[in-house]
Amino acid sequence: MHLLVIQRILGILLMIFSLAMLPPLFVSFLYLNITFDAFFYSFAIILISGIILWLPVKKQKQELRIRDGFLVVALFWTILSLFGAIPFILSPDPAVSITDAIFESFSGLTTTGSTVLTGIDDLPESIQFYRQQLQWLGGMGIIVLAVAIIPMLGIGGMQLYRAETPGPVKDTKITPRITETAKALWYIYLSLTVLCALGYWLGGMSLFDAIGHSFSTVAIGGFSTHDASMGYFIDKPMIEVVAIIFMFLSGINFALHFTAWRHRSLAYYLLDSEFRAYVIILILVALITVFYLHNENVFPGFDRALLHGVFQTVSIGTTTGFTTHQYHLWPGFLPVLLLFVSFIGACAWSTGGGMKVIRFLLLLKQGIREITRIVHPHAVIPIKLGGKPVSPRIIDAIWGFFSAYVAVFAIMLLILMMTGLDQITAFSAVAATINNLGPGLGEVGDNYASLTNTAKWILCFSMLLGRLEIFTLLVLLTPAFWRR
């Protein structure tokens, strides 16, 4: 381990992160919020902490090895989430416990979007803005993580994207260096954000809400400036439509956006197996949801069933977690179906959570291969993606990822039940956090405030596990990692 280099990097990150206090500081000033001091002190504390970390080791510039990456990533997300809680702690409104402040910050930066706050409509605008911005910054972090770091660490089969990425994604290799790839994708991220904000604004949101919700839409975060989430705007269906479009777009592989944009051709989307699977899953689930809502007369008219059904499918399916309606009170089958879909999640290299469509697709192909192998025991059947065979090593890694996901899910569920949660709440709380989805069912259908502190800390860990693709954290718990 190059611990001193890691300390230097963390110091720099904190100094950069302190700048994140300035926009809400400005919002405080603009709206005459009582939170001005809170953001100012947060800025100072984070900046000074960064300097204190960085100063003694500022000359440590050895090259990091791949193995250091696990520690950097885990520390990065944990420490920023802890420091990100400072404004919530210092601000007189909302008056929250330290645990709640940290939960909210983890939920923001991991773009989970579970909240412990109520009365969000009445919060100071600066705090509202800060929450939305946390998610947007988290989304930027995820892009770097997914594109540059996870494939390098060789986690969960995402080394698929390391060497020769199959199909159109390959084109992105034109910007081979990590930072340049990330930069290119950040431009897409920024463009999507601007377009989304514009859409919301034209749809009828205030400029403040439009910007805030564009942040949490493009980051697949799900935070809102209203307790009713997107349901607040239900009388302006254009806003819901804009949300559906941008949640859908943000759930797509950003490298695919980049390729399509660079070639000015939509054909690249259709050539991508993961994109096709993503679309098919969403359409199928939306059909079932709308039909079921209509059939059970949950809404008076078909148009409402259509809007709510499609919105909630895209929102939960991409793991955004916006709600237009208390979907957790819909007839039992639907919320569970949608939660299951959130396990599949969005595409790889997007800001979404869950296991990712590409892994689901490869699992499905392997499942079909196993059945074919039973019928034809002597056939040699390679798993292909975009016409190219996928190496057995990657297949192994994806099976391993899936099993680890299931095992971690079951263990977290049991631990939560041990703290006293009922089965439905525990089930949905783990699903909502490990998939970085946000809202759950039962007691956590709207809000996580009523949970015990122990449960909240466990769920913070669950959000982090999901966001860091399980293995980044698991590896840190093995002795083998620390040896040598």
Extract the annotated binding site for K(+): 111-112, 220-221, 319-320, 436-437
Binding of K ion by 345 (CB under 5 A): no
Binding of K ion by 321 (CB under 5 A): yes
C-alpha–C-alpha distance, residues 272 and 343, integer Å: 21
Binding of a second copy by 36 (CB under 8 A): no
Q: Which stretch binds a second copy (CB under 8 A): 139-147, 193-201, 204-212, 418-426?
A: 418-426
C-alpha–C-alpha distance, residues 240 and 248, integer Å: 12
Binding of a second copy by 294 (CB under 8 A): no
Per CB under 8 A, which of residues 50..69 are in contact with a second copy? 66-67
Task: For 456-469, give the DSSP string.
Answer: HHHHHHHHHHHHTT
Query: By C-beta, is 267 or 406 nearer to a second copy?
Result: 406
We find the least distance from the C-beta atom of residue 388 to K ion, in angstroms, to be 32
Binding of a second copy by 370 (CB under 8 A): yes
**Residue in 170, 294, 304, 373 binding a second copy, rule: CB under 8 A:** 373
| Backbone angles phi and psi of 48, in degrees to 5 | -65, -40
**Residue in 347, 397, 434, 464 binding a second copy, rule: CB under 8 A:** 397
Judge whether 417 and 86 are in contact, CB under 8 Å: no
Query: By C-beta, is 3 or 30 nearer to a second copy?
Result: 3
According to DSSP, residue 10 is labeled H
- Cα-Cα-Cα-Cα dihedral of 250, 252, 255, 260, to 10°? -100
| Backbone angles phi and psi of 162, in degrees to 5 | -90, -65
Residue 296 token pair:
């059970």
**Residue in 206, 262, 406, 452 binding a second copy, rule: CB under 8 A:** 406
Binding of a second copy by 475 (CB under 8 A): yes
The residue behind tokens 């946390």 is 134
C-alpha–C-alpha distance, residues 128 and 408, integer Å: 33
HEC sequence for 321-373? CCCCCCHHHCCCHHHHHHHHHHHHCCCCCCCCCCCCHHHHHHHHHHHHHHHHH
Residue 393, H or E segment:
helix 392-418
Judge whether 123 and 94 are in contact, CB under 8 Å: yes
Bridge partners (DSSP) listed for residue 389: 384
Query: By C-beta, is 6 or 395 nearer to a second copy?
Result: 395
**Residue in 191, 265, 403, 450 binding a second copy, rule: CB under 8 A:** 403
C-alpha–C-alpha distance, residues 294 and 305, integer Å: 6
C-alpha–C-alpha distance, residues 357 and 354, integer Å: 8
Bridge partners (DSSP) listed for residue 388: 385
Binding of a second copy by 395 (CB under 8 A): yes
Binding of a second copy by 295 (CB under 8 A): no
Binding of a second copy by 153 (CB under 8 A): yes
We find the least distance from the C-beta atom of residue 376 to a second copy, in angstroms, to be 8
Binding of a second copy by 410 (CB under 8 A): yes
Is the N-terminal amide bond of 331 cis, ω within 30° of 0?
Answer: no
Binding of K ion by 438 (CB under 5 A): yes
Residue 285, H or E segment:
helix 273-295
**Residue in 400, 449, 454, 457 binding a second copy, rule: CB under 8 A:** 400
The option from K ion, a second copy, none interacting with 449 (CB < 5 to 8 A, set by class) reads none
Residue 389, H or E segment:
strand 388-389
Residue 78 token pair:
């944990």
Q: Which stretch binds a second copy (CB under 8 A): 34-42, 163-171, 234-242, 369-377?
A: 369-377
C-alpha–C-alpha distance, residues 154 and 163, integer Å: 11
The option from a second copy, K ion, none interacting with 403 (CB < 5 to 8 A, set by class) reads a second copy
We find the least distance from the C-beta atom of residue 319 to K ion, in angstroms, to be 5
- Residue 397 CA, chain-centre distance (Å), reads 21
Binding of a second copy by 332 (CB under 8 A): yes
**Residue in 222, 231, 309, 440 binding K ion, rule: CB under 5 A:** 222
Residues 435-464, one symbol each (x = binds a second copy by CB under 8 A, - = not), give ------------------------------
Per CB under 5 A, which of residues 68..127 are in contact with K ion? 113
Name the residues that contact a second copy, by CB under 8 A. Answer: 66-67, 153-155, 292, 332-333, 336-337, 340, 363, 366-367, 369-377, 392, 395-397, 399-404, 406-407, 410, 413-414, 417-418, 421-424, 427, 471, 474-475, 478, 480-481
In the complex, the residues that contact K ion under the rule CB under 5 A are 113, 222, 321, 438
